[in-house]
Amino acid sequence: MRVSYNWLKDYVDITVSPQELADRLTLAGLTVDTVEELGAGLENIVTGCILKIERHPNADKLVVCTVDVGQEEPLQIVTGATNVREGHKVPSALEGAKLAKGLQIKRSKLRGVESRGMLCSGQELGMEAKLMSAEMASGILILPDEVPVGLDAREVLGLNDFVLELDLTPNRGDALCLIGVARDVAAILKTELKVPAPKFDESGEKAEDLAKVDILDADLCRRYVARIIKGVQMGPSPMWLQNRLRAAGIRPISNIVDVTNYVMLELGQPLHAFDYNALKNHHIIVRRAQDQEKIVSLDGVERLLNPDMLAITDENGPVAVAGVMGGLDSEVTENTVDVLIEAAYFHPINIRRTSKALGLRSESSLRFEKGIDINGCRRAADRAVELIQQLAGGTIASGAVDNFPAPITEKTIQLRFARVQWVLGIDISREEIVNILERLQFRVQANAEDLLVTVPAFRPDITREIDLIEEVARLYGYNQIPDTLPFGASTQGARTADQELTWDAKRVMTTCGFQEVVTYSFVHPRVFDLMNLPADSRFRKAVRLQNPLSEEQSVMRTVLVPNLLEVLQRNHNRRAQGGAVFEVGRVFYPVEGQPLPEEVPVLAAVALGSTPKTWNQPSRPLDFFFIKGVAEQLLDTLGLVGAEFNRHQDPSFHPGRCAKIEIQGELLGVLGELHPNVVENYELPGRVMALKIDLQVLAGYPRPVKQYRSLLKFPAVERDLAVLVKQEVAVAHMLTIIQKAGGDLLRSVEIFDLYQGSQVPEGFKSVAFSMKFQAEDRTLTDQEVADKMQRIARSLSAQTGAELRK
């Protein structure tokens, strides 16, 4: 919100500088980001009148102007502008003048002809091109004929002003206007607020006889006021009005349109001007739009409406999108003679949704969606017709068509005196509280214990007692409330169980050489094809976004691996060889009958290239056993007991190099080498290993509490065991059998050799295990260890058919 300092002084007597005012507004909760001096750096620029224009003797594109600047003698100024004529009033920079961007004017010769100044365009005076017409932006700035010569051009163009740029919080919609800001300024400075009271002459015609307004959907339009003024003369606005609009960041258009914008900035009530004679039977109908109904808006774009949007229509169809933008067919033009002014109250949420759906945001929708003063509609309409009559002439029909189906009653809130003191922690008197609220135009009724505060309609954000306390605090001064140490019971911060699980999982993955990445939750639907997923895969049932930024991010991800493959692909395209990345994120599954999807936390990792070379281990290509080792390390660190790795078929993985992780029959994750087709789809070289684990399933199993005990003082006995077993027997199953048969004396078992070749019968494999036995209370005898070894061998033979290798 841009607030003109000079304009603000129309409503309140300001005795402080713009910067001090900005500081005091900020302390009162209306944050001022910047204070801009519009004419900063401009010097010695006056208004002049072009008396004579002659051709330049030595240049076809230059002319020589004789300009009256209010001095004893006219000045000779050479210019290349093509839009100047004799009699034009123009801003003229004299010798020694300073323009925008530090340009300084000196007496000079242009192609042999002396020039004693410069005729200025708007941009040379620091005015924004977007706030001026195309002619004004590119050529010399032409001033109104009634402007006297010799005046300071900064004053004539409103550049002797400061603009306060306010950064308002969403609840302060009342401050989106000059009166709203002035109300706070008056309260801060403890002075009087001066609100203009409209004064105008009305004709004998009654507005109710000239127009009709029907509200068919009163839940979306709670009030609609229409005023009519006939016989207007369209034209440009006077300079003072144009200057104020530009200071607020709005480009002047015409006197009628400029008045509607001026009143909106002044009172906070958006208005719209219809060409009265373009409305069929002068009948306004406020209703929900019909499905697929169309309207061409003022910007010339055809827009498709739906029943969730509110339309302003006549008997032929839509003439405006309520609260957002008017229609092209009913706009006021240079041929308009009669005008109907609309001032209405529209439902804030509906306006916000309509504006977002149409991709159309306007100054009007900004104010409607934050909530306006429903009691201010008539006042704003009256103010508009008053200014139109002053600037464009015409006769105002008496009265207004005011359709107000359900007038509101102002809220009354109980404010406890003791509660104010307790919340703010200050000793503030009852009289001061009452004074602060009354300065903000709240009506206060006091009794013995508390206050009854009536909230005006222009403050819809005040709904509770604590809101009133905040108003007291900001006017009392946050800087006057003393600092105090917090008190009360405190708790030590700690991670939740899920946070600990995620933290430990990330630590393990980074220890294993993976780098963490964070990718978008939105993906392209084609990733399901790239991952070889069949048509009936549950992962293809993704949540589609209603308003995606692009097709590249149009659905919510159901799998995380494709995002990581895109990271590898992007790195590879930038000559980064290999890589291992992981992400802990959420995938989203739609839930039948529920508006929101199910969010499941997962861990996914992919790796490409070779293992790092160390002092005792050479580098080798990544394979299935590498990613399986990462998974085992992860589960071991997280304390998960009983997980099993079994063969698995997954369309995204290599058919012979894929395993699933199960615990108590429940699927925990999948790992292995990705299918060659998937790797080819992502244009990656070599083999890619991948891992995905469902953290929600993992979190469902208790993590054992770590217990520490002293090292055993009795020696350990190590034994090796090699057996022949059929190829289809899983080694993981054999390890489980060994651990169970070895009992408490078996401290560890590891596989150290797996052989298939000419010395092993066809269809069999040789597996060798290294085992360590140790007791807590004694040194084990050879016989005890031998008995355990025989028991292990018998168990393997009975359950897997394994035979000792000789």
Closest to 517 measured CA to CA, from 468, 478, 563: 563
To the question of whether residue 467 is assigned a binding role by annotation, the answer is: yes
The answer for residues whose C-beta is within 8 angstroms of residue 506's C-beta and 6 or more apart is: 516, 582, 584
Mutual angle of helices 255-267 and 239-247, in 10-degree steps: 50
DSSP string, 432-482: HHHHHHHHTT-EEEE-SSEEEEEPPTT-TT--SHHHHHHHHHHHH-GGGSP
Give the integer Cα–Cα distance in Å for 550 and 471: 44
Burial of 236 (0-12, 13-18, 19+ CB in 10 A): middle
Token pair of 265, please? 């900035």
Give the integer Cα–Cα distance in Å for 621 and 423: 66
Token pair of 760, please? 């092993």
Phi-psi region of 631 (alpha: psi -120 to 50; beta: other; left: phi over 0): alpha
Backbone angles phi, psi at 249, to 5 degrees: 90, 20
To the question of whether residue 461 is assigned a binding role by annotation, the answer is: yes
CA dihedral 673, 679, 682, 686 (to 10 degrees): 100
Beta sheet of 598-608, edge-to-edge order: 515-516, 579-589, 598-608, 688-694, 666-674, 653-663, 643-647
Give the integer Cα–Cα distance in Å for 560 and 605: 9
Q: How many CB atoms lie within 10 A of CB 275?
A: 19
Give the integer Cα–Cα distance in Å for 404 and 274: 20
Closest to 117 measured CA to CA, from 84, 82, 92, 85: 92
Place of tokens 């953290």: 695
To the question of whether residue 465 is assigned a binding role by annotation, the answer is: no
To the question of whether residue 128 is assigned a binding role by annotation, the answer is: no
Let me know: does 455 contact 445? Beta carbons within 8 Å.
no
Query: Which residues line the annotated binding site?
Result: 461, 467, 470-471
Binding-site residues from annotation for Mg(2+): 461, 467, 470-471
